[in-house]
Amino acid sequence: MQVVAPSPAHVTATPNAVMTGLAAPSRGSTELSTWRVRMEAEAAGPVHTADREQVWTVLSGVLEFTCGAEAATVSAGGTVILPAGATRRVRTVRGPAEALVAMAAGGAVTTPGSPEPRRLPWAE
């Protein structure tokens, strides 16, 4: 069994959100990465593609997920499954929001115009 204590070292802030790493290979998990996302009101993440399926459970607030040509608005308690390889974007609706995200370990993302894969430091 591995217990992960909260640590400022596990927190990554970007202009769009604050990610707090929970389970990850660097913290004892061999198969999964999980992290908490906090986004302020009117925040939107970048359009990007992840090479792993991601499962987002909204903990508070409301998030809008755009995945390919589909869009869904999900409030606290709802879960969205974003398939690997799909272009997606997440934004807040009507205030701040928090979510818990799970993904298979070792994932990376790409953004339009920058095809070089980028690792997610909060998930490593």
Evaluate whether 106 touches 53 at the Cβ level (below 8 Å): no
Q: What is the pLDDT of residues 1-45, one digit of tens each?
A: 999 998 999 999 999 999 999 999 999 999 999 999 999 999 999
Q: Reply yes or no on whether the pLDDT at 82 is more than 90.
A: yes
Task: Tell me the one-letter amino acid at 78.
Answer: G
- Res 107 pLDDT > 90: yes
The answer as to whether 1 is a domain residue is no
For residue 78, what pLDDT band results from cuts at 50, 70 and 90? Answer: very high
pLDDT at position 102 is: 98
Q: What is the mean pLDDT of the chain?
A: 96
- For residue 24, what are the domain limits? 8-108
- CATH code, domain with 29: 2.60.120.10
The number of folded domains in the chain is: 1
Cβ atoms of 122 and 54 closer than 8 Å: no
22, two tokens: 């929970």
| pLDDT greater than 90 at residue 115 | no
What tokens does 113 get? Answer: 């115009």
